[in-house]
Amino acid sequence: MDQVLAAGNVTGSLFCIPILLKDNYDTSDMNTTGGNLALAGSQPSVDAPAVTALRNAGAIILGKANLHELALEGISVSSLGGQTINAYDRAQYLRIVSSAAGPRAD
């Protein structure tokens, strides 16, 4: 990143934008588990097309976010990551409709 900035090659509509992916997007540099304990060591060899597009646009993939196991339900509980909770008020986790929208703070 420093070399790109020093060369003046600041391009891409998402240049330097930090991104967290749901854990069902394949990434070649991170495990992809779908929130499933049985897939805890699963390491894809290539990025998913959406991840490739994000990287090509200059986004920085920081890591993976929890999701309901294998993205099958909407209550955001997985055998690997547990219950998705509200980062601002841990008591509000039951009010979350879906982790896709992000844990809300009222």
> What pTM did the predictor assign?
0.77
Q: How confident is the model at residue 98, as a pLDDT?
A: 53
Pairwise CA distance, residues 93 & 26, whole Å: 27
Per-residue pLDDT in tens (0 to 9) along the chain, 106 residues: 778 778 887 888 999 899 999 999 999 999 999 989 999 999 999 999 999 999 999 999 999 988 888 888 767 788 888 887 777 777 766 454 555 555 544 4
Q: Which of 7, 16, 13, 24 is nearest to 53 (CA)?
A: 13
What is the DSSP pairing of strand 18-22 with strand 77-78? unpaired
Which are the contacts of 35, defined by CB distance < 8 A and separation ≥ 6? 23, 24, 66, 67, 68, 69, 70, 71, 78, 79, 80, 81
